[in-house]
Structure 1
Amino acid sequence: MNFMVVIMSLIIIFIYIAMWYYVGRNIKKIFQHRKINLKIYWAVFWIMAFAYIISRLVSSILTVNNIVSVIFSFVGAITLSLFIYLLLGFLISDLFRVVFKIIKLNEKYKQKIRSIYGNGLIVLIITAIIVCSGFVVALNPKTTEYKININKAIGNKQSLNIVLVSDVHIGIGVRERGIDKMVDSINKLQPEVVFFAGDVFDESSTTALKEYYSQACKKINSKYGVYAITGNHEYFQNFDESIEYYKKANITVLQDEVVKVNNQFYVVGRKDTASESRTNEKIKSLDILLRNIDRNLPIIVLNHKPEDLKSAENEKVDLQLSGHTHNGQIFPGNIIIKKVFEDPYGYLKKNDFNLVVTSGYGTWGPPIRIGTQGEIVNIKMYGNK
């Protein structure tokens, strides 16, 4: 088994290096008429290619995020986003080159295409424009609103004003200014209850940023409080520290726990499946979590991943709130993700069960969004009273 893991790892590394070399060779062609030191070029190129991996290695060895890992994380994230579209651009260009040979395109047209292509310069320019625009989009999350009707009374209230935030990924893309903007945006919606659905922190979240988050979130104004669950990324590094800063922010963290809020509704916080590898304990099933509750009250489930939907429907859950998917974050990821989850983004209703999946506030890895947009979700949940 271990032997197979080693073989598969070596194959993945080989493919990764081969793809980067393909991109690097094509970039080199752009500057073939200029004098460049090839040793320096390839040295810088490979450092950028492995920057994100280097950042993770440095961070794991030192157990904390220091300036070296932060710098390499940022450089690596940017180069990964460039790499994705440069790879696609050069592959498409080579495909057209093969097609033109097969159809024997007129030499005059070939010459025009070559002049436009400019040895690949057009691919580099288009990629730069795409990535820059994606960076701007990532810095400007929107507010998405849903109106949901449930078949239960919400105490003596007509509706409940909910704000959902997920996948903030404090670190590379969201720093102090982004945290302040997020808190201001939440408060403008005048929420009655606020939910963080996991991955507020990840491997790039420094202790200083966690501290800033905890202080900023104390300013959230919410009638019934702020509740959170952990996502998969919180388990990858400094889990206990992350929980500590959630609590310092006056946020109630639910780990396979249920709370009754103001005798009006239940909030169920589920552990992410990533916890199983950390604790060697199975997460609790939904039926066990709900066995002693009053089913006449609305049930809101926080589950980081939009999964276990059948159980939620069977257990008469009224509303499940999820994130994790980022809606693919970078095109064509938003197309691919639809093959993985039944509902990777937006609103799904099945009988009396409602699901809302957010694209998340921040980004993981490359601080860009292409074909998707970050968001804060405002849900008006109306009861049948």
Structure 2
Amino acid sequence: MKFIPYLIPIGFLSLLIVSVIYLARKWSWIMGADSTTWFYVFFAVVPVLFMVGLIKNINAVDYTGHAFYKIASVAMGLYLFITMAFLAVDLVALFIKLKPMQFGILSFTLFSVLALGSYFNAQYLRTSNYKVPLKGLSQTINSVHLTDIHIGHFRNNGFLNKLVKQTNAQNPDVIFITGDYLDSKYALNSSHFEPLQNLKAPVYFVDGNHDHATDNDSILAMMRSAGVNVLQNEIAQFKDLQIIGLEHMVADRETFDVHASPGKPTIRETLNRLPIKSDKPSVILHHAPNGIKHAEAHGVDLYLAGHTHGGQIFPFNYVSNLMFEYNSGMNIYKSLKVFVSEGIGTFGPPFRLGTKSELVNLQLIPTE
């Protein structure tokens, strides 16, 4: 498992090279071109330019960089969908002989369905409902879990106000936000935090990797100004519930995580020093589903995380399953319940295929 973070970029680069060759030849055949040279150049240069643009402009604060990031993100998603469409129609062509024009029409029809369907799927915010029994509760606590909101290049206050309204509609007693509130410095101003003041329940927040990459200190300060309870490796008490809020960190010294600084304390070290009462109901808030075994060893009842996006776009859900022991949904590790939300926003391409943008309503109920 420790080699997966290194194998993934190698595998991605290999697949990109294969896709360039495949798309160039397929387009040349559809167009009836005598030479594939320019098709090779186009499909080799364009993805590289867009990937560079994504990396270079993710934290752009000027309009030009912001616009280029959006164009590059959409283009990378469309590149994936046209590849998937061609491959799917190629499977059909194994059984039905298709002329170039027929192949092209079928491919572009499927491409349009994938692109438009994935875009609107990402915009549609679903509510997922779960009942979670916890020992030691004297009364039911209705909570909402939000994560990976990613306000920035593709989402702004219009989306945020919609999210606040839908959250309040759940009539929560408490709200948990597990990181990646912003995805870029383009949204780093107080106006993108003010809507949080309209939430009608106490809010507890822990940071994520994108918050760190943006400007974590500023984000935490603006969260506090908006009335949000920021937890940095500490415990807060809400009714019967211990809320253990952890900064984004690796599980232990034996674990590598490209998104977490190895110089910071680990989950194991942090939990060892916190005064957790194992006989009291407790929930951990952490951005990524890391250090599950350490949480269970301390008698924690519920672990809430995000970060994975569930893979966001098929077939990357399979990659995400390799990277994370728990990729999405409700899971059980011994006595610990682990819930990983697929998140609200998107990173990079504003598409979701095979996953959902979800607001999670967790009804914590007493049990013997």
TM-score range, shorter chain: 0.7 to 0.9
Which residue matches 1:220? 199
Structure 2 counterpart SS, 1:300: strand
Residue 275 to residue 198, structure 1, CA distance change in 2 (3 Å): farther
> In structure 2, what residue type is equivalent to 1:207?
A
Q: Which residue of 2 aligns with 1:269?
A: 245
* Aligned equivalents of 2:306, 2:175: Cα separation in 1: 14
Measured after TM superposition, the shift of residue 66 of structure 1 is 1.4
Contact 2:125–2:344 (CA under 8 A) maintained in structure 1: yes
Residues 78-128 of structure 1: CA distance to partner in whole angstroms, max 9, x if unpaired? 11111112223334556777x68xxxxxxxx63xx216x535342222112
Match for 1:76 among 43, 53, 72? 72
Show the 5 A alignment for 1:11-22.
Answer: 16=16, 19-20=19-20, 22=22
User: Which protein has the larger Cα radius of gyration, Structure 1 or Structure 2?
Assistant: 1
C-alpha spacing 1:278/1:66, structure 2 compared with 1 (3 Å):
farther
1:138 and 2:122 correspond: yes
Indicate how the Cα distance of structure 1 residues 300 and 11 shifts in structure 2: closer, same or farther if over 3 A, else same. closer
TM-superposed CA distance for 1:311, in Å, is: 1.3
Mean Cα displacement is larger for which, 157-166 or 48-57? 48-57
| Residue in structure 2 matched with residue 103 of structure 1 by the alignment | none
Unmatched runs of 5 consecutive residues or more in structure 2: 1-7, 250-256
Q: Deviations over 1:36-93 (max 9, x none)?
A: xx9899779945752342243245xxx6421122111111111111111222333455
> 1:207 — aligned with what?
187
Q: Do 2:232 and 2:245's aligned partners in 1 also have CA atoms closer than 8 Å? A: yes
Query: Aligned to 1:90, what secondary structure does the other structure show?
Result: helix
2:342 matches 1:359: yes
Cα deviation code 1:148-198 (max 9, x no counterpart): 111213xxx421111000111112332222111110011111111111111
> Identical aligned pairs, as a percentage?
24
Give secondary structure in 2 for the equivalent of 1:81.
helix
Residue 239 of structure 1 and its aligned partner are, at CA, apart by 2.6
- 5 Å-filtered alignment, 1:275-290, equals 280-285=263-268, 288-289=271-272
CA distance in 1, matches of 2:63, 2:270: 46
- Is 1:260 aligned to 2:205, yes or no? no
Instruction: Measure, in 1, the Cα distance between the counterparts of 2:120 and 2:259.
Output: 37
Return 5+ residue gaps in structure 1 as ranges. Answer: 1-7, 101-108
Residues 271-294 of structure 1 show CA distances to partners (whole Å, capped at 9, x for unaligned) of 223698658333342664564233
Q: Which residue of 1 aligns with 2:292?
A: 309
TM-score, length basis structure 2: 0.83
**CA distances 1:308-346 after superposition (whole Å, capped 9, x unpaired):** 111121111011101111111111223343333332111
* Aligned equivalent of 1:151, options 135, 143, 146: 135
Within-5 A mapping of 1:1-385: 16=16, 19-20=19-20, 22-24=22-24, 26-27=26-27, 29-32=29-32, 46-47=45-46, 50-58=49-57, 64-91=60-87, 110=97, 113-114=98-99, 118=102, 120-153=104-137, 157-203=138-184, 205-207=185-187, 210-222=189-201, 225-262=202-239, 264-273=240-249, 280-285=263-268, 288-289=271-272, 291-384=274-367
Segment drifting more, 41-50 vs 326-335: 41-50
**Shift in alpha-carbon separation, 1:364–1:124, aligned structure 2, 3 A:** same
Structure-1 separation of matches of 2:150 and 2:288? 15
Stretch of structure 1 that moved more, 316-325 or 296-305: 296-305
How big is the shift at 1:21?
A: 5.9
Taking only aligned residues, the RMSD between alpha carbons, in angstroms, comes to: 3.3
Count how many residue pairs are aligned between Structure 1 and Structure 2.
351
